[in-house]
Each structure stands twice: as C-alpha cells, then as structure tokens.
Amino acid sequence: MWIKRISLFIILLAFYIAIMINNPSECLKNLGYNRVLDFYGRWVSSSCNLDFLYNPGLRQTAIPLQTSRVAAVIPGPSQGFKNEIEKILAENYQVIIECSAMDTWHSSKDGQEYLPRIAAQAYRVVVFDGGHHLPTLGMVPDIILVPELAGFAVHTYMLDGMRVETIRDLAQEVGCPAVIVGIPRLALVKNQYSLSIITRRIMAVSHYSDCKSGTGEVTLQSRMSKFNGVIFAYVNYEYAQNPELFCQRLSVLGVRDARKLYLAFDYGCVSPEEAGEFMRIYEGSKPEQRFAGSNSQ
C-alpha cells in the first residue's frame, strides 16, 4: 500500500512541476510552490544523466572549474537586462546562466555589447530549449544545456522543438566552441538551484580546450547570428509579419558572403507553408539555405 502512495505522490509532484516549471502563477507560489520546486530541483538535478553531445573543451580562463560563483538569470519580473547583468558582473560572478529572454537580448544592439564583458569575467551558459535558440550557436557561449525529450530540445509551450542531433551537427559544422550537454527535460528546472547544480556537475568533469578563445568573428542582428561564414536566424512573429525587415537585417549581417543560412521558425505563428515561402525568397541568393528546426523535424 505504501508503494502505491509513494508512486501517487511522485506522479502528482511531477504533474505539478510540469505545469508550473516555466510560468508559475502567484497563487500557487503562495501555496508553497517555491519550496517544492527548490526541493525537486536539488534532488533531480543532482543525479540526472548528463549526455555530452559535443565537447570541444571549455575556454581557457582563470575561472576555477569546481569552486566558481554561479548566477542564474531566471525568467520572471526583473529590473531590466542591463541592470541585471551589471549587478551580476559587479558582484564578480564567474559563471552566468541565461534562459531564452536574456540570450535573445544579447543579439540586440544593447545586449551584444555585454558579450565581451561577460567573456572577460565569466563563462556564459545558455539553456537551449528550442529553435528560438538557433542563433545561440553563432553567439559562442561556453556551455549549452539542452533539455531533451524524445530526441528533441523542447520548451514547455513554444512550438519550435529542434532535434538534438541537429544541434550537435550544426555545432560541429560551424566549429562552435561551446560544450553541449543534453539533460532529461524534467530534470532541468529553471531556478537557481537546478541550473547551478547541473552547471557545476558539467564543469567538474570538463577539460580545457586546446584552442585559443575567440577563434571566429561573431556578427549579430536581432535573433540572428553569423559565425565562421554561417548564418543562424529565427523567424518569429515580428519577422513573419515583416519579411522586409528580416531581409534588411540579413543584409546588414552579411548574407551575400555567407556560406550557409539556417532558419528556424516559430510554428505558433508561422505555418509550414509560410516557412516554405520564406525559404523560396532566398532560393536565388548565394548561401545555401536550410531548415534547422521545427516542431516536426
């Protein structure tokens, strides 16, 4: 009988966490959500499997691999990304973990200015949970965490899942310097405890890269990156509604001298037919274009 009770408790707990993991309501927070999530995050992140998908080694720095100070930027209300990152840098954190919003902000004019400052002081870690992170491969983070479910990197609610093997293959093709690690989706919780524990575990078993840092030039536009001659771009609602803006920013990025152009789409606002139309727009341009991610590929 006690086995059934324990099993029921685990099922209910998993269901509760699955619903609340990205967008918790204030009501459930007040009913002990944060304590439950902290307990779950500590427990599951300490023992989950770490699948090193791509491991060129960590960038050589003076940052200690086992005793560094770790800060995770968690989704939710904030004082603005500038203030948040300034505070983290001022407090001398040596590892900074970012989720979708801050990682995307780094491709903006204001956000990209902080990338060299972060690199000079800390390792940058990114949670890659779908095609909206495709430009991350050209933004040279140090570690990429991939929440994996059934072979896909998936977000809780966004329709842009991306095959894990595609992420690995693209990283190898472009020479991305990031260590890429797959984690079971329900073992990665977006809170300070879970993200820090997983990152520390990765660093503890990592080695330094033989390559020097800064091995390729990075150029950025909003939701676009170009690295080693390859462009990675994400077509969201803004670009779907304004293809001219998308073309303009690709031109500024330097699409004409790119070897390849990889696109990922937000299938919550872009249909497969519209995605195909986007591809046809660039059929006559120089770089080879390919779909890099979707909820069905």
Predicted confidence at residue 1, as pLDDT, reads 57
Q: Which residue is it, tokens 């002990």?
A: 32
Two structure tokens written together for 58: 């960590």
CA dihedral 289, 290, 294, 297 (to 10 degrees): 160
Q: What is the pLDDT of residues 104-115, one digit of tens each?
A: 999 999 999 999
The stretch 191-204 carries a mean pLDDT of: 93
Quote the pTM value.
0.85
Are the beta carbons of 252 and 221 closer than 8 angstroms? yes
Predicted confidence at residue 240, as pLDDT, reads 87
Which residues have C-beta within 8 Å of that of residue 177, sequence separation ≥ 6? 56, 59, 140, 142, 209, 211, 213, 215
Q: How would you classify the pairing of strands 260-265 and 224-227?
A: unpaired
Average pLDDT value over all residues in the chain: 85
The stretch 146-155 carries a mean pLDDT of: 90
Q: Where are the domains of the chain?
A: 1-47, 48-204, 218-293
Predicted confidence at residue 269, as pLDDT, reads 85
Q: What is the pLDDT of residues 43-91, one digit of tens each?
A: 889 999 999 999 999 998 888 877 789 999 987 766 789 999 999 999 9
pLDDT at 198 over 60: yes
Predicted confidence at residue 181, as pLDDT, reads 98
Q: What is the pLDDT of residues 82-106, one digit of tens each?
A: 999 999 999 999 999 999 999 999 9
Reported as a pLDDT band with limits 50, 70 and 90, residue 138 is very high
Q: What is the pLDDT of residues 229-280, one digit of tens each?
A: 999 999 999 998 888 899 899 999 998 889 999 999 998 888 888 888 777 7
Q: Which of 246, 297, 261, 277 is nearest to 130 (CA)?
A: 297
